[in-house]
Amino acid sequence: MANVEFERVTKRFDGGGRAAVSDLSLDVADGELLVVLGPSGCGKTTALRMLAGLEEPDAGDIRIGGESVVGWEPKDRDIALVFQQYALYPHLSVRDNILYPLKVQRIGKTDRMERVRRVADLLGLGALLDRRPAQLSGGEQQRVALGRAIVRQPQAFLMDEPLSNLDAKLRTQTRTEIKGLQRQLGVTTFFVTHDQAEAMTLADRIAVMSAGELQQIGTPDQVYDHPANRFVAEFIGSPPMNLLPAERVGDAAIVAGGWRIPVPVGAASGASVTVGLRPEAIRLAETPAPDAQPAEVYLIEPLGSEVIVNVKLGDHLIRVRTKPEVRPEPGQTVYLAAEPGGVRLFDAATGEALLG
Ligand code: ADP
Ligand code: MG
- Within this chain, do residues 38 and 83 fall inside the same structural domain, yes or no? yes
11 CB less than 6 Å from ligand 1? no
Q: Examine the pLDDT at 256 and tell me if it is beyond 60.
A: yes
In this structure, the strands spanning 188-193 and 213-218 are unpaired
What is residue 3's three-state secondary structure?
coil
pLDDT at position 349: 92
Per-residue pLDDT of 218-255, as tens digits, reads 999 999 999 999 999 999 999 999 999 999 888 899 99
Is residue 204 situated within a structural domain? Answer: yes
205 CB less than 6 Å from ligand 1? no
Q: Evaluate whether 275 touches 253 at the Cβ level (below 8 Å).
A: yes
What is the Cα–Cα distance from 143 to 152, expressed in whole angstroms?
Answer: 15
Residues with CB under 5 A from ligand 2 (ion): 45
Backbone angles phi, psi at 287, to 5 degrees: -125, 150
pLDDT at position 269: 64
Is residue 354 situated within a structural domain? Answer: no
Is residue 353 situated within a structural domain? Answer: no
Looking at all shown ligands, the one closest to residue 164's CA atom is 2
CATH classification at residue 200: 3.40.50.300
- Within this chain, do residues 210 and 332 fall inside the same structural domain, yes or no? no
Q: Which residue has the higher pLDDT, 153 or 114?
A: 114
Is residue 81 situated within a structural domain? Answer: yes
Per-residue pLDDT of 282-296, as tens digits, reads 999 999 988 899 999
Q: Which residue has the higher pLDDT, 320 or 163?
A: 320
Q: Examine the pLDDT at 93 and tell me if it is beyond 90.
A: yes
- How many separate domains does the chain show? 2
Q: Examine the pLDDT at 206 and tell me if it is beyond 70.
A: yes
Q: Examine the pLDDT at 76 and tell me if it is beyond 60.
A: yes
Is residue 352 situated within a structural domain? Answer: no
pLDDT at position 108: 87
In this structure, the strands spanning 307-313 and 242-249 are unpaired
Looking at all shown ligands, the one closest to residue 40's CA atom is 1
| 46 burial level (CB within 10 Å; 0-12, 13-18, 19+) | buried
pLDDT at position 66: 95
Looking at all shown ligands, the one closest to residue 15's CA atom is 1
Q: Examine the pLDDT at 123 and tell me if it is beyond 80.
A: yes
Q: Taking residues 110-138, report their average pLDDT.
A: 90
pLDDT at position 266: 60
Domain boundary, last residue among 174, 208, 230? 230
In this structure, the strands spanning 205-210 and 33-37 are parallel
- Within this chain, do residues 80 and 161 fall inside the same structural domain, yes or no? yes
Domain boundary, last residue among 230, 262, 280? 230
What is residue 127's three-state secondary structure?
helix
Domain boundary, last residue among 210, 230, 250? 230
Q: How many beta carbons lie within 10 A of that of residue 143, not counting itself?
A: 26
Per-residue pLDDT of 41-69, as tens digits, reads 999 999 999 999 999 999 999 999 999 99
pLDDT band at 124 (very low <50, low <70, confident <90, very high): confident
pLDDT at position 21: 98
Q: Evaluate whether 4 touches 28 at the Cβ level (below 8 Å).
A: yes
- Within this chain, do residues 201 and 103 fall inside the same structural domain, yes or no? yes
39 CB less than 6 Å from ligand 1? no
- Within this chain, do residues 250 and 217 fall inside the same structural domain, yes or no? no
CATH classification at residue 254: 2.40.50.140
pLDDT at position 265: 67
- Within this chain, do residues 244 and 226 fall inside the same structural domain, yes or no? no
In this structure, which residue's CA is closest to atom 12 in ligand 1? 20
Q: By residue range, what is the domain housing residue 184?
A: 4-230
Across the chain, what does the average pLDDT equal?
Answer: 92
Among 46, 51, 81, residue to substitute to test ligand 1 (most atoms within 8 Å of Cβ):
46
- Within this chain, do residues 134 and 256 fall inside the same structural domain, yes or no? no
- Within this chain, do residues 243 and 226 fall inside the same structural domain, yes or no? no
